[in-house]
Chains A and B, each alone.
Chain A
Amino acid sequence: MKFLVVCGHGLGSSFMVEMNAEQALKELGAPDNVEVDHSDLGSAASDMADIFITGKDLEDNVASLGELIVLSNILDKDELKGKLKAKLEEKNII
């Protein structure tokens, strides 16, 4: 299971979210095969991940890639953790 955090240029915000997501997955007790990576809009492709994480400002640009987690505040660790938890539970991973 792989999450890909996508932002405009893959330089800044997606990396910050990736760090927070890794921490959140650890706290949630997600298994090791749940991975997170980051990318930019231009290079992100549907086959790069199972679920794509992005901010609400870029939702329309990322929607075509596949299943989404959309964050209203991308620095909010609690929002991210809550949405990751819901998604992992939905998939029976935790």
Chain B
Amino acid sequence: MLNNVLTEDKILLQNNVKNWEEAIQIAAKPLVPEFIKQDYVQAMIENVKELGPYIVIAPDIAIAHARPDGNVHKVGLSLLKLDESINFGEDSHYAALVFVLAAVDNEQHLDLLSELANVLNDSEKVSQIKHCSSSKKIVNIISKTHKEEF
């Protein structure tokens, strides 16, 4: 499932961003408008302002998301890979891999997330992804994980 959702066209690579708000905006671009409306992007940003940088779930990995409010059309996932990590908080919450999760409810994205967790729990894979120079290579690494695990 992960491979059918996080496809090459959903992955962006960029050297750096000005701030974490920009990171979320750029990371979400491949999902607008087919998967999410622009106000879901704003909701993800507000979410961090309100609750802090907890979306940085592990060193160098952020999963931006918000509670869907009629602004998500279907479950989706996109990724912005940065060469220079961006800080999401005052005290070092740096992320180089910024995922955007589009959730339509509390359930439908859970299989997708469990597959993504399998990739992100493998520090070797995370390191490889951070050094990729193309979205195609990232997809290859993720698909290898998929085949080994299932």
Contact = CB atoms under 8 A, between A and B. Distances in A.
A12 B113 contact: yes
Interface in B59-84: 59, 61, 63, 65-67
Interface stretch (B10-18, B23-31, B45-53): B45-53
A16 B47 contact: no
User: Is chain A's binding surface mostly helix, strand, loop or mixed?
Assistant: mixed
Given A41-B51, A74-B58, A12 B121 contact: no
- How many of chain B's residues touch chain A, expressed as a range? 20 to 34
Given A9-B66, A11-B103, A12-B63, A58 B54 contact: yes
- How many of chain A's residues touch chain B, expressed as a range? 20 to 34
Nearest to B120: A75
Interface string B75-107: 000000000000001000100000001010010
B125 interface: no
Given A8-B47, A19-B117, A75-B61, A13 B54 contact: yes
Contacts of A20: 117, 121
Of listed A12, A15, A20, A55, residue having the most chain B CB within 10 A: A12
Contact of A12 (B53, B58, B65): B65
A73 B55 CA distance: 11
A75 B121 contact: yes
Contacts of B1: none
B32 interface: no
Contacts of B93: 57
A11 B117 contact: no
Given A11-B67, A77-B121, A16 B113 contact: yes
A13 B57 contact: yes
Nearest to B43: A9
A76 interface: yes
9 contacts: A9-B66, A11-B109, A12-B57, A12-B101, A12-B103, A15-B114, A41-B51, A57-B54, A75-B57
Interface of A: 7-13, 15-16, 19-20, 40-41, 55, 57-58, 61, 73-77
